[in-house]
Amino acid sequence: MKVRSVPVPGFGLPEGVINEFFCERFPESFSPSSVVNGYCNEKDEPSLFAMDLYKTLDWLHDHEYPRPLEKEPCNTPVLVYAPDFSTKHLLFHFDGSSHSADLIRKFITLFGNLIPESKATIISPNFIPKSKIKEEREIIQLITSSTSETSFIKFNFSRIGDFWSYSVKNDCTLLVTSKNYQADLAKVLFHFYKGKLWSSRLSFYLSV
C-alpha cells in the first residue's frame, strides 16, 4: 500500500498529522496510523486522507477560534481517526440525497474488507421524497449485505452535535457523514474536547 505522511495542499495542518492513502479498497490489515498495511493496487490520486484526532485537536487549540480542517473541501474523503480506531459499530448518516448515497457507496468500496463483522446503524430523516425511497432502500440493502447486523432509525438530526451525542451514547466507533459538516465538526472538537460527551473511540469519515 502506498502511503505518504506530508503536508497536504488545501489543509492547514502540519506534517505528521495527515497520511495519504492510495488504494481502491483497503485490506483487512488497514490502520490509518500505520505505513505498513499490506498490499493493494495503487492509485495516482489519494483515495483517503487520514488525520490523527489528537494531533488535529492540538492544532485546533493552537488557535483562538475553530479553524476548518480544509480550506475548501476536496473530493478525497477524510478520516479523522481516534487512537483506538475501529469499525466495530458504524453510524451511517443518510440524508435522502444522491450525494449522501454516493458517499456511503464510496465508503463501502474503500472499507468493505474491514466491516463484514461490523454492526451498522443508519439514521435517516423522517421524511424522504417519494423519488428517493428506492435509493434509500438500495442503501439499506447495501449496508445490510456488507455488515453483520444493521438497524435503521428515523431521526431529524440536523447538526453534527446530534450525531456526536448519539454515537457516544450508543458506543458507535465510526460516524460516516458528509463534508458539509466539516466546519461544524471542527467547532465541536474545539469546544467540547474531553467534555461529558467525549469518546476516545469515536472516529469520523467525511466525504463529498
Closest by Cα among 57, 44, 47, 49 to 10: 49
pLDDT-derived band at 17, boundaries 50, 70, 90: confident
Which pTM value belongs to this model?
A: 0.88
Tell me the pLDDT tens digit for each residue of 44-73: 788 999 988 888 887 776 766 666 666 677
- Determine the Cα–Cα distance for residues 3 and 98; give it in Å rounded to an integer: 30
For the ranges 38-52, 90-104, 177-191, the maximum mean pLDDT occurs at 90-104
Which triple of cell numbers denotes residue 198?
A: 467525549
Give percent of the chain above pLDDT 70: 79
pLDDT-derived band at 39, boundaries 50, 70, 90: very low
Kindly give the residue spans of alpha helices, DSSP state H, lying in the chain.
53-60, 98-111, 130-146, 160-169, 182-192
Under 8 Å CB-to-CB from 180, ≥6 apart: which residues?
A: none
The residue-averaged pLDDT of 133-155 equals 96
Contact 19, 32 (CB under 8 A): yes
Q: Per-domain residue ranges for the chain?
A: 2-207
Crossing angle of helices 98-111/130-146, nearest 10°? 10
